[in-house]
Structure 1
Amino acid sequence: MRNYFLLQLLFAGLLITGCSSDDDGPGTGPEIPTVESATIDVESGGSNQPNQVYIDLGTSDTKVVRRDAWELGFYSGSENRVFLNASILATAAELSEFTDIDAVNSNTVFETPLQLKYLDIQTFQSVDITVNNVEELKTGLPLGYGMYGDADNGISFSDSVEGGLGGTAISGISTTDTDNKVYIVSAGSAIPTEAADPGSINTAGEHRGFYKIRILTDGNEYTLQYAELDADDHQEVKISKDDAYNIRAFSLVNGEIVDVEPEKEKWDINFTSVYSYYGDFSGTTAGVTFSDYAVHNTLGNVGLYTVFIYETEGESTVETGAPSFDAFSRSDVEETEFVYDDKTVIGSDWRQTGGFGGEESQVKDDRYYIVKDADGNYFKLQFTAFLNEAGERGYPQFKYELLE
């Protein structure tokens, strides 16, 4: 009898311990950073900058993915949105007259021609153009200075620079099938294999081809219809939302779902290497591409802002009164400064490239960044290198510290 009573006590203890473990398990409280400071050598991959690198500041874990591994990113949140891979210059144009993907090819003629604009590089003026068919549209769909669009009327074949849900080139996917149109997708540029000269880059190779897609949804699952532009029939794949991730990625070129982003709570900074969009370019509108580019995880509720130590006025500098990177502490954080709706706050502004007025390629020392992760932890971050010892680009480095 005594042994039976002891077994009952032991069993009860196990139950209590089990309940306590469940209550205190993952997801019930803020994630405590395991790394208080670190220096990260970003594996961008050299002058071709072939990699996207996702970085979790709380653990200093990194995930490296080739940037040509995917073209489409299917959003897992409550809205039905599909992102384009800006790092390979992917673009997409809606064909508002078509819902049958198999009826579209290079020879497809529009009943109502598209009225668009492009930038004439010779005159640097915006020029009107009438696009009568898909073959003509193909000329101005790849991202570049002379690509087609019409910013005044909200026509853009790239996602917005800020990376928000409302700025996708592909419209929100409707649960009413007939509302979802066929799109022509430019799969962007291949990653070159020939290294650039020291100090230069070589990031955009041959065009990767055109595809046609149509996307349907029931709200929790996307149905992607896709094919090469001139194929007679199409493939179809189901892509389920997964709340642990911002997006689920798909490769049109390889016809498969791809593991790209880490879980949305496990990365803060993405050194995407290359970034492109249709937008402002020296006072006009064009497709522009940047290298050495970093974004932060706005879809995962990461905030970030810039602290400027000094400002340049002509040939002189003026101190801003902000503390140095080393002196900045938790009490200096300005909550109202955090940016959650524009992932490009860092961008490529952390470095300057040589060749302009005799300037050297180097990291800018007038700024650093404050990051607030999804768990409410604060970090200060400063870039420390731009080139490797041989003077080659594509070898960024930054340091960061937890603010307590």
Structure 2
Amino acid sequence: MFRNSLIVLLSSFLLQSCIPDDVAVLPYDRGDLNTVDLEMGERFDKMTFYSLKDAEIVQECSLTAFDFYLGDSIVRFNPSRLMRSAIARSASFDEVQDTLGLDFSYEQSDGFGEPALLADGEIRIIDMGYDEEGLHLEPYKIRLSKKDSDTYVLEYALLREGVSKESEVEAGSYFSIVEGEEIQLPKAEEYDLLFTRYNFYFEEEVTNYLVVGVLISDILNLEVNDVPFEEIDLTLVEERRSLLSAARDEIGYDWKDYDFDTGEYTLIPNKNFIIEDADGFVYKFRFTSYYNESGESGHPSFEFRLL
């Protein structure tokens, strides 16, 4: 009896000695409410990449700084220019000279649906859209394919020009076919919000139009309009986690409204957002103004807080 009790006691001691001591996990500093004022200009003639985690502007660029973002698994147009593409009718790159009878397609602003541009080796005509001044840019013809999982091969030329160029582009890069080079801009994991104008399809008008607002990077977001900003907390996040969406235009443009009679913008009341970044950090976010102290529009102000 004593021997059995001793064995049990020793076994218990050995088991406990194999279990490591608990390591205290320090609570993450949620910090104060962050308030940000951006200067985009009345024409919204630049793009601003913003990081919530770092609470700072990562980089800014002109609307014509790049033409394509060549991601690991998807290719996107510069969203600010109303670009579109069509598959050419000829299999010869040199023979493609016009756009007659072609069926052009736009990218969807939510990031879903059939991509307008694929790395499939097809020859495509690219309507390059519009620059900051509203001038229509010259069209290009391109052929895009994958050399391997990390490298794209891009052949391109002005539509009516016979001489083409070819570039190898690393996946995860921005590229300008006008300049013929990669452009150094934040990778998808380096920013959360892109303040820009972008193409949006209006179903009632059956037309694509440039709007001004926000597109997200590779993160999740959700609009919350039935709970005051101050009351949004982690409990609410957990209740609605299944509703979080990867739609790039969830924040979008319609947090503000334009009055054609007064020529002024007003914010939509109680339009809040929950945002979960790529690292799993969750924020609550809302806009507070679209004007600067001088009363000029195109200056979005917003606030956010880590939950």
For 1:354, the equivalent position in structure 2 comes to 259
**Please, which runs of 5 or more residues in structure 1 have no aligned partner?**
1-31, 107-133, 138-148, 150-155, 175-179, 193-204, 242-246, 310-321
Residue 336 in structure 1 maps to residue 265 in structure 2: no
Change (3 A) 1:170 1:263: closer
Residue 229 in structure 1 maps to residue 159 in structure 2: yes
Question: How many aligned residue pairs are there?
Answer: 276
Q: What one-letter code is carried by the residue in structure 2 that aligns with 1:287? A: N
For 2:109, the equivalent position in structure 1 comes to 161
User: Aligned partners of 1:231, 1:158: CA distance in 2, in Å?
Assistant: 24
Identity %, equivalent residues: 24
Choose from 83, 93, 101 the match for 1:101. Answer: 93
For 2:47, the equivalent position in structure 1 comes to 52
User: Aligned partners of 2:75, 2:232: CA distance in 1, in Å?
Assistant: 39
Residue 258 in structure 1 maps to residue 183 in structure 2: yes
For 2:82, the equivalent position in structure 1 comes to 89
Change (3 A) 1:90 1:240: same
1:382 CA displacement = 0.9
Q: Where do 1:14-93 residues align within 5 Å?
A: 36-44=32-40, 46-62=41-57, 63-76=59-72, 79=73, 81-93=74-86
User: Aligned partners of 1:268, 1:39: CA distance in 2, in Å?
Assistant: 16
Q: What one-letter code is carried by the residue in structure 2 that aligns with 1:87? A: S
For 1:381, the equivalent position in structure 2 comes to 285
C-alpha deviations, 1:149-199, integer Å up to 9, x for none? 5xxxxxx511122113x531123x23xxxxx2211111111102xxxxxxx
User: Aligned partners of 2:259, 2:45: CA distance in 1, in Å?
Assistant: 22
Residue 239 in structure 1 maps to residue 163 in structure 2: no
TM-score with structure 1 length normalisation? 0.64
User: Aligned partners of 2:158, 2:130: CA distance in 1, in Å?
Assistant: 16
CA RMSD for the aligned pairs?
Answer: 2.1
1:240 CA displacement = 1.7
1:217 CA displacement = 1.4
Residue 170 in structure 1 maps to residue 117 in structure 2: yes
CA contact (8 A) 1:43 1:53 kept: no
TM-score with structure 2 length normalisation? 0.83
CA contact (8 A) 2:30 2:305 kept: no
User: Aligned partners of 1:40, 1:232: CA distance in 2, in Å?
Assistant: 49
For 2:221, the equivalent position in structure 1 comes to 304
User: Aligned partners of 1:225, 1:43: CA distance in 2, in Å?
Assistant: 37
For 2:19, the equivalent position in structure 1 comes to none
**Please, which runs of 5 or more residues in structure 2 have no aligned partner?**
1-27
Residue 276 in structure 1 maps to residue 181 in structure 2: no
CA contact (8 A) 1:41 1:396 kept: yes
1:265 CA displacement = 2.5
